[in-house]
Amino acid sequence: MRDEIHQLRAFRASTPEPDAAAWSRAERAISEARQQPAHRLRTRRLSRWRMPTWRVLGALSALPVAAVAALIAVLLSSGPATTNTDSSGLSWSLAGYFVPEGYQLSTHGPAPGPLTCPSATTCYDQADLVPHQVADGRLVRRTYQWDDLYVSKDGAHTWQAVRLPDGLAFTSRLVCQTADTCSAGAIDHGTPAFTVTRDGGRTWTTSPLPAGTGRITVLTCPAATTCRALANVGGSLIAQHLVTTDGGRHFTVSSFPAVDSISQLSCPTVNHCIAAGRGTAYDISFTGLVLVSNDGGVTWRPGTLPRAMTADSPIDCVDAEHCFAAGLHTIGTYHDGVTAGITKLYDEMLASDDGGVTWTVRPLSARFPSPLIDNVACVSASTCYITGSDSVAQSFDNGKATSGGSYYAAVTQDAGLTWQAMSMAEPPSSQLQPGEPPDVFMSVSSLQCPQVNVCIAMADNVAGNKHAAIYTTAP
Amino acid sequence: MGSGAAGGRQYPDMEGMGVAPGAPPGAGVRGIEDDAGFEAAFREHFAPVYRFIARRVGPDLADDLAADTFATAYRRRVAYRPDRASLRSWLYGIAVNLLRNHWRAEQRLLERDSQLAATAATASPVPDALSNDLEPRLAAALARLSREQREVLLLHAWADLDLHEIAAALSIPRGTVSSRLARARASVRAELGYPPHVDDHAERNGNA
């Protein structure tokens, strides 16, 4: 008699062999890894939910497929072989875990996604990212949706699942006006939509977007009933500008003038908005571009970015004048007619004191060599928290392995003129995977600062530690 | 599962890898710290690892995850210890770790398969092939396993790893592998309506 093992071996036995595309994909990935001198490829985490908000991904998305490999492979050379341990006395304490025992060990837990903390006690986590790959004939682009929602009412210490209506998933990060009133771009049974809850996620009111509108990928709500959004149709990189003034029941759709790669939008007031992106959707030169509107998006005027920098990361405005963003600094590009890429890149903190019209560099690289910024959260015109990685290599595993960099967390209290490193306590039950650098628990995937001196971070290194640890700066 | 990639496959772009098209598999027995050794390992193990991943989460995700598996392996190659684990168990361990981030996709696939309407019972033309009504039951059985049990069972059934290799792949004691496998098999057998195993001796010895 055939037993269950034999039956299992017949189950899905028709799975095809890898095709040429699969082999090519793997060969490219190995080639990219090969070009890194050290253990860890210093890229932003090209995984799960962090991708939608990142300009490097935007860069990848905006390139021909053949250029992606070249671009990924660039990045940074390793720095001196020392470990970055300076903490200056500022620290994050471990508050708990997103799911007890860690989501990777739980058969029922979610893969955590972006945090949204409208108050020091209430946080939401959109979880269970589902990527969708689409193409417009020239480029490959990924869109995302989050299928699950979790809520914490005790400062992110404990979490409960929120049951979403059948067929509803999020396509943008939540934007919360109060602890219980939050909005997001959504997909409702496959149809692009806008959804809002006024009771902390228990019920949702969902409205379809106008015909011909793509999924909302970026949402900003400067007033209770006024929200603006970016939407993209299918694989197009051309962003639509959506506006509602009645809480999402009706939207008007417009486009940006002569610019079609807008990927970020922030509106500190109803009429004052800042949009950022690149020169054109198919731009391979990474020409940064920022636009400012003072009339609710009717007209836009260009702002000024530092040379060789883009600002197509989320823009964090603490008021109508003071805004911050991670800027991508490129040093040299190449284009051989087939592939294109950057020979070197790193991030610098960008700050604007005039509502996004002019931007200046706040020199993070003076503190962290060749930094990449993963998260920015500002609580005032002078105080911002960031997390990311630098090029300070680590030697570990008895000296047999070397990482390509170190994770860091830092704070500035003078609008980015100087930065102080912050320490994070390693989870006591952390079980690092063999061969992982010892600081993977500092790989922060989401950072929120709902009020001064209260920040909440989620560390969920996908390849290393088994716990999605929650850190807080709250006493 | 296939045992190698060289069986007639045309390598689309191996020049950059320094691999001669048509080179025979098996060179992976040497170390993987040098590029040539790693390329040989890639050539030998990519297809089976890909198929293992594809069976679990579908071909769409398999492209990325299989690529990530070998990119990760390349970056970590200096950490591989031949005296502790076979190369393939080490590679499957990386794949399993990456798959854990997609357990919901796997769960959805299993639940979808388990909900397939059983068509009218038809005699299978091949005695060992799955009948139409068995496939949903198997999917349901897998869906009901814990992640830990499912990992062990599928590494055994689909990746053909023995208990020692599974233990090395998952970095867990061999006894834990044995108990998880026994429980997983018992659960699946119950789901399929098979009588309980009377002797799991073979499992304990890793040659079930």
Structural domain spans, chain A: 25-472
Substitution target from B63, B89, B203 for chain A, most A beta carbons within 10 A: B63
Classify domain A25-472 at the CATH topology level: Methylamine Dehydrogenase; Chain H (2.130.10)
For residue B194, is it within any domain? yes
- Residue B14: closest C-alpha in chain A: A27
**What tens digit of pLDDT does each residue of A176-210 get?**
999 999 999 999 998 999 999 999 999 999 999 99
User: Higher confidence at residue A34 or residue A15?
Assistant: A15
Does residue A375 contact residue A444 with C-beta atoms inside 8 Å? yes
Q: Which is nearest to A92 in space by CA: A419, A457, A428, A464?
A: A457
Find the DSSP H helices in A317-448: none
The answer to whether A40 faces chain B, any CB pair under 8 Å, is yes
Does residue A220 contact residue A267 with C-beta atoms inside 8 Å? yes
**What tens digit of pLDDT does each residue of B62-104 get?**
988 999 899 888 887 877 777 777 899 999 999 998 887 777 7
User: Higher confidence at residue A56 or residue A109?
Assistant: A109
Q: Name the pTM for this structure.
A: 0.60
User: Facing residues of A205 across strands?
Assistant: A196
Q: What is the DSSP string of A49-85?
A: GGGGG-HHHHHHHTSBHHHHHHHHT-S-----S----
List CB contacts (< 8 A) between A47 and chain B: 101
Contact (CB<8Å) B101/A3: no
CB-nearest to B189 from A4, A17, A24 is A4
For residue B106, is it within any domain? yes
List CB contacts (< 8 A) between B2 and chain A: 17
Query: What are the C-alpha distances in Å from A394 to residues A38, A439, B207?
Result: 9, 9, 41
For residue B124, is it within any domain? no
Give me the mean pLDDT over the A380-404 stretch.
82
Mean pLDDT value across chain A: 77
User: Higher confidence at residue A407 or residue A396?
Assistant: A407
List CB contacts (< 8 A) between B17 and chain A: 27, 30-31
CB-nearest to B67 from A29, A48, A397 is A29
User: Containing domain of residue B179, as a range?
Assistant: 30-117+133-204
The answer to whether A66 faces chain B, any CB pair under 8 Å, is no
Four-residue CA torsion sign, A180, A185, A189, A191:
positive
- Residue A16: closest C-alpha in chain B: B51
The answer to whether A142 faces chain B, any CB pair under 8 Å, is no
Q: For strand A168-170 and strand A182-188, is the pairing parallel, antiparallel, or unpaired?
A: antiparallel
List CB contacts (< 8 A) between A34 and chain B: 35, 74
Based on the number of CB atoms within 10 Å of its own CB, is A145 exposed (0-12), middle (13-18) or buried (19 or more)?
Answer: buried
Contact (CB<8Å) B54/A15: yes
Based on the number of CB atoms within 10 Å of its own CB, is A431 exposed (0-12), middle (13-18) or buried (19 or more)?
Answer: middle
- Residue A25 is inside which H or E element, if any? helix A20-34
Residue linked to tokens 């405005």 = A317
Token representation of residue A287: 């020409």
The interface residues of chain A toward chain B in range 115-134, judged by CB-CB distance below 8 A, are 128, 130, 133
CA contacts within 13 A on the Cβ side of B78: 17
For residue B23, is it within any domain? no
The answer to whether A401 faces chain B, any CB pair under 8 Å, is yes
Contact (CB<8Å) B79/A401: yes
Contact (CB<8Å) B194/A3: yes
For residue B181, is it within any domain? yes
CB-nearest to B68 from A29, A111, A433 is A29
ipTM comes to 0.77
For residue B108, is it within any domain? yes
- Residue B207: closest C-alpha in chain A: A5
**What tens digit of pLDDT does each residue of B108-164 get?**
788 778 876 444 334 333 334 455 567 888 888 998 888 889 999 999 999 999 988
